[in-house]
Amino acid sequence: FDSRDGVIWFDGQFVPWAEANIHVLTHGLHYASAVFEGERAYGGKIFKMREHNQRLIDSGKLLGFDIPYTVDEIDRACVETLARQGFEDAYVRPIAWRGSEMMGVAAQSTKIHLAIAIWQWPSYFDPAERLKGIRVDLAEWRRPDPRTAPSKAKATGLYMICTLSKHAAERKGYADAMMLDWRGQVAECTGANMFFVKDGKLHTPMPDCFLDGITRRTVIGLAKARGIEVIERAIMPEELDGFSECFICGTAAEVTPVSEIAQWRFTPGEITKTLMDDYSATVRAHAKAVAA
């Protein structure tokens, strides 16, 4: 991944992709003092760019640091990087981290860095499997109590258990893993939020210890616009038997139907299909509206 062509925006400069390096004594690498975003461009325009870049700044604050750029400056840097890379449809990855000026848990005077890399990432899941519905395992790791970690931040450290869970699932032939939270309630997948369908209504867990995804909020809006009732509540895994459809959503995953979670079975149906189509139409319409 580190030897491509193109450029990366790095602390205000464009550097060749292969030269966007950091020192091994970077605090962010040792102590997970880093936050990031995942955004998608459609038709040359980044969907919900402002919301993502504001969340990046907010995530930094939750980790006790100020990213030394305003949201306008980060937006502009993303737009310029996308233009330099020359992609229409692409994935945008800003990341901010504490630098290598100090080593140790305490690192108050480290410099805060920001980089933005953009690459083409067509479908997060195998496209054929995605349409049939992906198979999801039940993760062993649980989302931490908000008193245990700053769970509202999109912070790199919170992804340690996501990578562990995703790898365990992939070893068993699954595409992803569903994580419960510390109470045993259904939380989310390793990089996406979850929705279930029962009697024509959508049910989704309350995002009180995991990311309230920007895609999640978009999907809730699309469902409401269709007159579909959305119920945000605590969902226990035992209830999964009673749901007919399930899908996950996130910037990278978009809206992806689920056919299985461990012993539970779902059939991607009308509501999943409608929201999948509405989501694609919305991100494309956004690109046209911004371009106009």
Residue nearest to ligand PMP as judged by C-beta position = 213
The single residue among 250, 254, 268, 286 that binds ligand PMP, judged by CB under 6 A, is 250
Residue whose CB is less far from ligand PMP, 178 or 211: 211
What is each CA distance from 28 to 24, 119, 180, in whole angstroms? Answer: 10, 22, 27
User: Mask 34-63, x = binds ligand PMP (CB under 6 A)?
Assistant: ----x-------------------------
Task: Give first-to-last CA distance, the chain, whole Å.
Answer: 34
Q: How many residues bind ligand PMP (CB under 6 A)?
A: 14
The single residue among 117, 192, 220, 287 that binds ligand PMP, judged by CB under 6 A, is 192
What is each CA distance from 219 to 107, 113, 145, in whole angstroms? Answer: 40, 33, 26
Residue whose CB is less far from ligand PMP, 28 or 38: 38
Residue whose CB is less far from ligand PMP, 113 or 166: 166
Radius of gyration of the chain (CA): 19
**177 touches 136 (CB < 8 A):** yes
Strands (E), 126-275: 134-138, 176-180, 186-189, 193-198, 201-205, 230-233, 245-250, 254-261, 264-265
In the complex, minimum distance from the CB of residue 4 to ligand PMP, in angstroms, rounded to a whole number: 22
> Rounded to the nearest 5°, which phi and psi values hold at 88?
-90, -55
Tokens coding 171: 């070893």
In the complex, minimum distance from the CB of residue 188 to ligand PMP, in angstroms, rounded to a whole number: 5
User: Mask 67-106, x = binds ligand PMP (CB under 6 A)?
Assistant: ----------------------------------------
Q: Could you tell me which of 210, 218, 173 has the C-alpha nearest to residue 189? A: 210
In the complex, minimum distance from the CB of residue 291 to ligand PMP, in angstroms, rounded to a whole number: 23
d(CA 83, CA 97): 24
DSSP 82: H
d(CA 1, CA 181): 32
The single residue among 7, 134, 136, 214 that binds ligand PMP, judged by CB under 6 A, is 214
**168 touches 201 (CB < 8 A):** no
The catalytic residues are: 154
Stretch that binds ligand PMP, among 98-106, 108-116, 209-217, 237-245 (CB under 6 A): 209-217
Residue whose CB is less far from ligand PMP, 27 or 93: 93
In the complex, minimum distance from the CB of residue 18 to ligand PMP, in angstroms, rounded to a whole number: 26
d(CA 207, CA 193): 9
In the complex, minimum distance from the CB of residue 168 to ligand PMP, in angstroms, rounded to a whole number: 16
Asked whether position 251 contacts ligand PMP by CB under 6 A, the answer is: yes
Residues found near ligand PMP in the complex (CB under 6 A):
38, 162, 188, 191-193, 210-211, 213-216, 250-251
